[in-house]
A and B are shown apart, each in its own frame.
Chain A
Amino acid sequence: MGTVQLVGKRWENSGLVENRKGCERLKGQAGYIMKPMMLIAVIILLIFLLQSLYSGVGKERIAQKNLDIVSAGTNVLLILANSEQCLAYESPVTYKTQGIILDIEKLDNFDIDSDNREPECARNYEFGWRVDVEQIRRDGSIDNSWDFGIKEFSEGQALNNEIRLWIPVAIKYPKGHSHCPEGCTELGKMNIRLVNGELENLAGFFDWACMMGQMGRMSTLSTELKISQPVVYKPNQNELCVGNSCRPLLCHLLYFDEGINSAGTYELTVNYQAPNKLLVGE
């Protein structure tokens, strides 16, 4: 204790105590400025952090969309080329399906029967697509071609995403075919244009509901859709149009003759009525 007092006296005596008090006062005044500044800096940093996170999430969503469409395109091409319900050649001897080898007869049938619709074996209810198959000659020219799938797609504001992909294929001609009587397998390319947009989403929803109803799996379905262009239903052609693009539907729509006239987000509910009708409610 005695030592402390002695030291205290020495401080008082040297006048340094006054200086210390002065410093503490200055420090206190600086604290009034520094604290709000630090607060502001921390807030700025936090905003920057949040903005970075949100921009990352946004980029991820865009990437996800790209992934989805590439993935869907790949899947459709592979299903078309490998499924016996689609185009894959099935050996009449072994009854085995030979993937990537397209049956010329199935190709001809698709070309005629699926001129403005996607064949059910490779239907995607989020995307619309059209495929063309080209047979290639030795000199690189096109020997023969077939196309099938939907003809019109969402355009302008209604178009969300679009991609074009292709895979090589072999085209099998059986014995006795006029192209090569001895039978042959030619080289070809299968190109796909795959589109995601409001027309595809809306028509996909109606077709999905129709199919579920026909299969007896579900009678009522709802969805929320963003619409940016007027939607028109043409009952005589059983076609749904968004803007200038139209596509046929599987089921006829009831109570949707007026369509949708203004942009916005709509919640649609449909009830299936056998054999091929959908009652639409907004």
Chain B
Amino acid sequence: MIDEGMQEQAAAYALGALNAAEIGAFEVALRVDPELRALVSELRSVTEALAGTAPALEPPAAVKERLLLEIDQRGGSGSKRTPDQPPRRPVSGPFGAAVSEPVGGPAGRPARAWIPWAVAAAMAVLSVAFLWQSSSLRSQLAAQAGRINELTTSAELAHAESAELRLTVAKLRESNHLASFRIALLDSLLAAAPTAIAVSVWDNERQDGVFIVRNLKPLPSDKDYQLWIIDPKYPSPVDAGVFQVNAKGDVREDFRAKLPIQTANQFAVTIERKGGAEVPNTKAMVLAGS
């Protein structure tokens, strides 16, 4: 008979909710108790059923192609290790079971497949660099980083709990598209408005999104806030429309990009002249995030 305390641990173990110390202690008991092993086995099947409640998605065919190319290049199954393979180090495994990976990094992509990834990463860095090229902004950011982090922590908590965000996310879930969404939180870059914050939810399939802003200062009538999407595909940020906030500094806007978006890496908001600009005024950037 397994007591309630051990049942609690077994349930949490099967879910992956025990910490490292608890896993170690539990696995000692697991080794010597066949009844407990049987319970864990059944609870793992429950966990698998739970996992299967995720909205169904088919992986792109390219993943399978990359994978098969990789195993073809490597040869036979690595579970039968050959002497020329590197030594392996243990990493956190499923349900506490040790899984080893080659020293020097996890199993990677095909030998030359890093090139497009490296290019993409470089493009992403360039895009960020483009946005943050203003040295005065960088120094301002550095000076305020600690304060922004501190303030945004409390703002985020409040924001995540806001009824509007919950309703928005619930609505997205009902339409079964959340898994394909890019969700970004944009932090304030303004010393005068450190609690300003925004969430962008972008649906790459539909090429549209929802933008929610809190605590942003209302602008004079000859100015607009302008949302930008940073996509490595383009040398400059892509215009995603202008908006105004209400007297409280809040707004919720549906938005679309002016160009087809391939990868929405980052989002930023600048202050521009009424109607918006062709390219962002990086010195007037007020929110940014990924």
A associates with B: no
